[in-house]
Structure 1
């Protein structure tokens, strides 16, 4: 296995371990906390993420990864700048926590915001070390650190929820996870010297960070805006419902996209430096992403009701139409994880910011208007906004890589056929469930088997390129297994 394949394998182990913890914690917490209590957590989490995105790209992961010749002074300057901004933001959150709670007319937010502000003192340390490990493709170390953090989040959140801590349970759980992550990364990296203060490379960092952080802020704010709008216009119960619908819709991101995200930027930068054709790399990548994402989203949309009933419980069944609308809309984002890395790789981080400014402000206005009509209208607005955003991003990438609509259609045609084949298999199981011939659990199990068989059949019938990559991955695992057994025997 080459370094990229090994990195993806370790990243997959990291994300899938975290995903198991997420499923278990969510299933338990959904039965211990009400939608309104989840709404408080969702709003505080949204505020924290929007603010964090505003400073993390000043010397954050993307700067440290894309820097061709990274010196110790670059790393120290990046950490110093990030820590200074982060510390100031933590202080401001403590000062204005009361004002923010009044803005959303929820006094309960004050204590939650103050607790969440403590995370900002840890993020510069964990963010800097994580970026260095990603740059060096040390995803095995990252996997261990992230899994330890995930265990802490799950145990503390569930334990406090059972003790009656309400919406504060997942907030303190998140803080506990960040403490464990920071300590684990410090032990794994074993070079605290990179965290010494310095500002010698500050100018270069700010130059990159202005564009990169602009892209990050506007995209993060857009992703979290529905929850903030619903909290201000409707109520926290609506926020809780929408937040849970988003969590289910984004399971594919947790399964696949978040596995690839840590690897995409360093891998594309490496291919650019090696002189590879980025157009071919991009078109190959969207073939692989679309044939995995589209069938998965179709499956979730068709099987939303049994999935929610079994995973979250009957209290949350009203999010079924939200999940279906969001699944259909998210099919437009098959190439979203590639957009920023590709534009950075071709030296056009400025275009990434421009494309965001073109597509996201109109989308925000549509979401704001939909908020006055209820949570289902907000979910339905994604059918307009997400395809528009995808079209703008692909247009900018196409200008640099020199491809057009015909190239996209040719690259995606086989994925369309595989998705249709998978959808037919799942739809037949839905028909059996609606006829009363299958229970929700039996129907979900049968639909999962049918989807897997039909998906594989679609790959074979179309000769999809993913087959070649799957065969390579299986062969690589087969080569690793004997070495793993030998190492265990030696121990």
Structure 2
């Protein structure tokens, strides 16, 4: 097993353990909190996420990872600038908490914003140290830190919800998780000198941060804009429904994209430095991602009703049509996780910002207009905006890779066949559940097995490149298994 495969394995263990905790905690919290309470939490989370995304890129993970020669002075400068901005933003957020709550007509937002501001003071420390671990491909250490943090979030959130803390339960859970993550990262890294203040290389940090933070902030804002628009125009119950639908739609990101994200940037930058053909790397990655993302989202769309009933309960059945629409819309984002790392690798972060400014403002206007028509209209709007954003990003990326449209579409043909095969298996089980032939639990488990079989058959029938990677991963796990199992004494 090579270093990249080993990193993927550790990252997968980290993300999948966190996903299990997330699924369990969400199922429990969905039965303890009403959609309106989830809506308040979703708006607070959206506001703080957008703000954090803006300042974290000034010396954040992407800057530290893409830097070819990383000196101690560079690390200290990056941390100092990030922490100074986060302190200023936290103070501004505290001062404006009351104004924001009045803007949305919800007094409870003020308290949530005040508590969430505490996270902004911890993010520069945990973000800097996590970036250094990622740069060194130490994903085993990161897995332990993240698992401890996510366990804390789940336990504190559920415990406080049981004690009737309402929407504040997951907010306090997030703060507690950030504190645990920061403490364990500090204990693991131990070299606290990298966190000493310095501005020796501030020009380089700011030069990268101006473009990178713009890309990050506008994309994060777009992701959370529907919830903010719905909260302002409709009500917080609509926000709660939309946020639950988004969470189910984004399970693929938690299963696959978030596993690969920590590895994609350092790996692409390393390959670029070694003189690799980035077009070949990009097309290979597109083939692999589409062969997993498309079948997965199609399965979620077809089986949305059984999944919602078993996971969230009958009180959340209104999210089923939203989930189906959003899954279909998100099919366009199969290559999204590759776009920014490739722009960074070719030294064109500015183009990433330009493409975002071209595609996102019209998309935001469309979302704003749809918000007046209801939550389903907001979801349906994504069927237009997400393909448009993907097309603009690929248009700006193609010249740097000498990528022709025909090459791009040929890379997707086999994945399309695999997706249709998977969908046929899932649809058959959905019909049996709808007619009452199979109950929910048996039907969902049967659908998983049948869809997985059809997916594998599609890979074999098309001789998809993903098969080779699956064989290599299986061989690597087989090699590691004897080391993980306890040895038996020789008699």
| Pairs within 5 Å for 1:420-431 | 420-431=420-431
**SS of 1:453's equivalent?**
helix
Question: Aligned pair 1:366/2:366, yes or no?
Answer: yes
Distance 1:108 1:488, change over 3 A: farther
Q: Aligned residue for 2:151?
A: 151
Q: How far 1:436 moved relative to its partner?
A: 1.8
Q: Aligned residue for 1:397?
A: 397
Counting matched residue pairs gives: 490
Q: Aligned residue for 1:55?
A: 55
Tell me how far apart the structure 1 counterparts of residues 49 and 215 of structure 2 sit (CA, whole Å): 14
Q: Aligned residue for 1:187?
A: 187
Tell me how far apart the structure 2 counterparts of residues 140 and 86 of structure 1 sit (CA, whole Å): 28
**SS of 1:69's equivalent?**
coil
RMSD: 1.1
Tell me how far apart the structure 1 counterparts of residues 296 and 354 of structure 2 sit (CA, whole Å): 31
| Pairs within 5 Å for 1:132-147 | 132-147=132-147
Question: 1:21-55: CA deviations, max 9, x gaps?
Answer: 00000000000000000000000000000000110
Q: How far 1:2 moved relative to its partner?
A: 1.4
Q: Aligned residue for 2:316?
A: 316
Tell me how far apart the structure 2 counterparts of residues 191 and 243 of structure 1 sit (CA, whole Å): 39
> Which has the larger displacement, 290-299 or 402-411?
402-411
Tell me how far apart the structure 2 counterparts of residues 45 and 487 of structure 1 sit (CA, whole Å): 48
- Unaligned ranges ≥5, structure 1: none
Question: Aligned pair 1:11/2:11, yes or no?
Answer: yes
Q: Aligned residue for 1:129?
A: 129
Question: 1:109-130: CA deviations, max 9, x gaps?
Answer: 0111100000011000000000
Question: Aligned pair 1:419/2:434, yes or no?
Answer: no
**SS of 2:59's equivalent?**
coil
Q: Aligned residue for 2:66?
A: 66
| Pairs within 5 Å for 1:80-229 | 80-229=80-229
Q: Aligned residue for 2:281?
A: 281
Tell me how far apart the structure 2 counterparts of residues 330 and 104 of structure 1 sit (CA, whole Å): 28
Q: Aligned residue for 1:332?
A: 332
Q: How far 1:332 moved relative to its partner?
A: 0.3
Tell me how far apart the structure 2 counterparts of residues 275 and 481 of structure 1 sit (CA, whole Å): 35
Tell me how far apart the structure 2 counterparts of residues 49 and 341 of structure 1 sit (CA, whole Å): 21
Superposition TM-score, scaled by structure 2 size: 0.99
Tell me how far apart the structure 1 counterparts of residues 423 and 93 of structure 2 sit (CA, whole Å): 47
Q: How far 1:404 moved relative to its partner?
A: 1.5
| Pairs within 5 Å for 1:294-313 | 294-313=294-313
Question: 1:409-447: CA deviations, max 9, x gaps?
Answer: 110000000000000111111111222211111211111
Q: How far 1:486 moved relative to its partner?
A: 5.7
Q: Aligned residue for 1:32?
A: 32
Tell me how far apart the structure 1 counterparts of residues 487 and 460 of structure 2 sit (CA, whole Å): 36
- Unaligned ranges ≥5, structure 2: none
Question: 1:396-419: CA deviations, max 9, x gaps?
Answer: 111110111110111000000000
Off by >4 Å, runs of 4+ in structure 1:
486-490
Q: How far 1:3 moved relative to its partner?
A: 1.2
Question: 1:150-181: CA deviations, max 9, x gaps?
Answer: 00000000000000000000000000000000
Q: How far 1:487 moved relative to its partner?
A: 7.5
> Which has the larger displacement, 430-439 or 206-215?
430-439
Tell me how far apart the structure 1 counterparts of residues 432 and 67 of structure 2 sit (CA, whole Å): 55
Question: 1:261-287: CA deviations, max 9, x gaps?
Answer: 000000000100111100000000000
Tell me how far apart the structure 1 counterparts of residues 189 and 406 of structure 2 sit (CA, whole Å): 47
Tell me how far apart the structure 1 counterparts of residues 236 and 489 of structure 2 sit (CA, whole Å): 55
Question: 1:422-478: CA deviations, max 9, x gaps?
Answer: 001111111112222111112111111110000000000000000000000011111
